[in-house]
Chain A
C-alpha cells in the first residue's frame, strides 16, 4: 500500500509541476506556436484520447471483445458528473466560506469525477452482462446500439439540456493538464499492471480461445464483464474531466463517430498493445488537428476545408490498416525500453516483430446461417 501511495505521489507532483510549467509557457507566450488553442489541440485533446484508446484497448485488444460503444461510456461519465455538479455541488459550494473555496472545488471535482466513473462503470456492467453470449459482429452491433441509445437518451432528456446541450458546468478542472495527464497515466498504469500480472493472462486467454479458457478454470464471464467495467470507468472519468473543463457538453460530442475514432486508434496501434494505443491515440489526434491548420483547397471549382476530410481520413486509415497491416503498428507487443534498445542496436535488418496471430480463432463464430431459401432445398445438379 505504501508503495502505491508513493508512486501516486510522484505522479501527482510531476503532473502538477508540468501543469505549472505549461501554464507559464502558454500565458507567458514563451513559444510563438504554443497558444491556448494549440495547447488544447495538441496536448489536452490527445491526452483525453489516450485515455479513451487505452481503456478501449482493455476491452477490444486485450480481452478480444469488439465494443463499438465506447462513446456511450464517455457520455455517461460526462453527463452524470456534470449533472451532479450543476444540480448539487454548485449549491453546496455556495455555502462554503471563500477561504475554503479552492479546496472545496478540488474535492467536489473529485466527487464528480468519481460519480462519472462509477456511473460509467455501472453502465459497463449493464452492457457487459447481456453481451456475454455474443460474439464478433453481433457484439459490435449490440455495443453500437447501447452507445446510440445512451446518446439518444441524453439528447431527449431536458434535465441534461437535451439537444441544446448541457451548459453551465463549473469549470473546476481549470487549465486541465494536471487532471488529464494524471488520468492518462493512471489508465496506462492500471492497464499495464493488469496486463503484466497473471490476471492479465486470464484476459488474454479469453481473447485467444474462450472455450479453452473456461476449461482452464478462467471464468470468461467474470473477465469479460471486468474488462467492460474497467474500460468504461476510465472512459467515464475522461468524460467527467471533459465536461468540467469545457463547461458545456453536447450530444453531438458523443456520436458514433467518436467510438469509431477510438476503435481506429486501437486498431492502428495494435490491438492488445498499450503503447500502441498511446501512440496511435495521440498521433492520430494530433494529425487530425494538423489537418485543420492546412489551407483551403479548391477542387473542381469547389472550396474544401481539409478538416472536412478528417472523418474520411479516419475511415481510410481504418480500411488500409486492415488490408495491409491488420496487426497494427505494434501488434500485440509493447514498445519498451528494452525493445527500443534492441531495435537501435540492431543492424538495418527489419525488426522481426512476429506477425500477430489472428485475434479470433475459427471457433468464435456466429450461429451459422440457415440456407438462403427457407425450405432448405437440396441443390440439384443442373
Chain B
C-alpha cells in the first residue's frame, strides 16, 4: 500500500474513530456509575443526526441559505440539547424504576428502549435515507486530501473530549462522578447527590452522542436512517470495552483504535466487505484475552 493511501486511510480512520470515541464515552460513563450498558445510547446518536438533518432541511438558523457558521453552531447545540433531554428522559422513565433490579432485567429494558427509539424514528420519519444538503471543500494537507467538514469534525470531537476530561478532573461534578463510580455507597454516605450525578452523567453522555450524530450528518454528509445509530452504537460499545469499560481515556483510545483498524481493513480490497465484522471480532478477542481492556485493571472476583 502506498504511503499516501495509508496516511489517507489513517486520517479517515481517526476521524471515524473520533466519532466512536464521542459515543463510547457515554457508554463508559454510564457503565462506570451504574454498571449497566445503555443500549439505547446509539439511538441518541441517531436522534442527534436526525435533528441536524431536520435543521438543515428546514433551514433553521439560516444554515443553508446563509451558509452561516453561527447557525451551524446553534444547530449542533440544539441537537445536543434535544439529545440531552432524551437521555435524561430515558433514564427517568426506563432505568430509574429499575435502579435496584437485577442486571439482566435492566439489560433487557435497555434493549427494549433502543428498539423503541429506532421504530419511533421509523414511524415518524420514514425509512428513507436523509442527507444533509451541505457540501464541503476538500483541502490538501501534505498529500492527503481531507474535506473541510472532516477536519472540523475531527477538531470539534477532540475538543469535546478534552472538555470532558476537564470536567471530570477539575470540576466538583467530575469529582462526584468519580466518587460514585468508585464506590456508590460510600459516596452516598459522604453526601454526594448520586441521583443528580446519575442524571448528569446521562445528560453529558447523551449530549456528546448527539453532537457526534449531528456533526456526522452535517460534516460528513452520512445519510440518516432510523437504524443509523445501531452499528456506531455497537462499535462505540466495543471501543469502550477495548479501552477498559468505565475508563474515559480508555474509551477515547478504544474508539480511535477501532476507527483506524476499520479503515485499514476497509482499504484492503479482499477484506473490505468484512469491515463491520472487525468490531465484533475485536470484541470477542478482548473479552476472551483481556476482559479488562487496554487501560483497565483486572480485578479478581471474591468467592
Query: Is A in direct contact with B (CB under 8 Å) within the complex?
Result: yes
Task: Write 21 A-B pairs (CB below 8 A) sorted by A numbering.
Answer: A133-B287, A133-B288, A137-B103, A142-B283, A148-B276, A152-B274, A152-B276, A311-B115, A312-B123, A314-B115, A315-B113, A315-B119, A319-B116, A322-B109, A323-B94, A326-B102, A360-B103, A370-B250, A371-B32, A373-B247, A380-B175
Cβ contact within 8 Å between B298 and A367: yes
**Which residues in window 244-303 of B have CB below 8 A to A?**
244-250, 273-274, 276-277, 279-280, 283-284, 287-288, 291-292, 295-299, 301, 303
A365: Cβ under 8 A from any B Cβ: yes
B29: Cβ under 8 A from any A Cβ: yes
Q: Determine which of A68, A322, A372 lies in contact with B248 in the assembled complex, contact meaning CB atoms within 8 Å.
A: A372
A138: Cβ under 8 A from any B Cβ: yes
Annotate B69-108 by CB proximity to A: 1 below 8 A, 0 otherwise. Answer: 0000000000000000000000000100110011111111
Q: How far is the CB of A266 from chain B (nearest CB, A)?
A: 10
Q: How far is the CB of A296 from chain B (nearest CB, A)?
A: 13
Annotate B170-208 by CB proximity to A: 1 below 8 A, 0 otherwise. Answer: 001001011101100001000000000000000000000
The 8 lowest CB-CB distance pairs between A and B, nearest first, are A369-B246, A318-B112, A145-B280, A315-B116, A315-B115, A319-B112, A358-B102, A312-B119
Cβ contact within 8 Å between A311 and B112: no
Q: How far is the CB of B244 from chain A (nearest CB, A)?
A: 6
Q: Determine which of A134, A145, A365, A369 lies in contact with B181 in the assembled complex, contact meaning CB atoms within 8 Å.
A: A369
Q: Determine which of B112, B118, B246 lies in contact with A322 in the assembled complex, contact meaning CB atoms within 8 Å.
A: B112
Write the chain A residue with the least CB distance to B115.
A315
Cβ contact within 8 Å between A374 and B105: no
Chain B residues near A152: list those with CB within 8 A: 274, 276-277
B152: Cβ under 8 A from any A Cβ: no
* Assembly CA distance A364 to B83 (angstroms): 32
A263: Cβ under 8 A from any B Cβ: yes
Count of chain A residues near B, Cβ 8 A: 56
Q: Determine which of B182, B283, B295 lies in contact with A374 in the assembled complex, contact meaning CB atoms within 8 Å.
A: B295
Cβ contact within 8 Å between A370 and B287: no
B120: Cβ under 8 A from any A Cβ: yes
B234: Cβ under 8 A from any A Cβ: yes
Q: Determine which of A318, A322, A379 lies in contact with B182 in the assembled complex, contact meaning CB atoms within 8 Å.
A: A379
Cβ contact within 8 Å between A263 and B108: yes
Write the chain B residue with the least CB distance to A259.
B111
Q: How far is the CB of A372 from chain B (nearest CB, A)?
A: 5
Known: A156-B273, A315-B119. A373 touches B168 (CB 8 A): yes
Q: How far is the CB of B117 from chain A (nearest CB, A)?
A: 8
* Assembly CA distance A322 to B111 (angstroms): 11
* Assembly CA distance A367 to B291 (angstroms): 7
Annotate B150-178 by CB proximity to A: 1 below 8 A, 0 otherwise. Answer: 00000000000000000011001001011
Cβ contact within 8 Å between A66 and B104: yes
Chain A residues near B108: list those with CB within 8 A: 263, 267, 318, 322
Q: How far is the CB of B251 from chain A (nearest CB, A)?
A: 10
Chain B residues near A263: list those with CB within 8 A: 108, 111
B36: Cβ under 8 A from any A Cβ: yes
* Assembly CA distance A364 to B105 (angstroms): 13
Q: Determine which of B36, B37, B109, B168 lies in contact with A372 in the assembled complex, contact meaning CB atoms within 8 Å.
A: B168
A339: Cβ under 8 A from any B Cβ: no
* Assembly CA distance A312 to B121 (angstroms): 10
Cβ contact within 8 Å between B103 and A379: no
B237: Cβ under 8 A from any A Cβ: yes
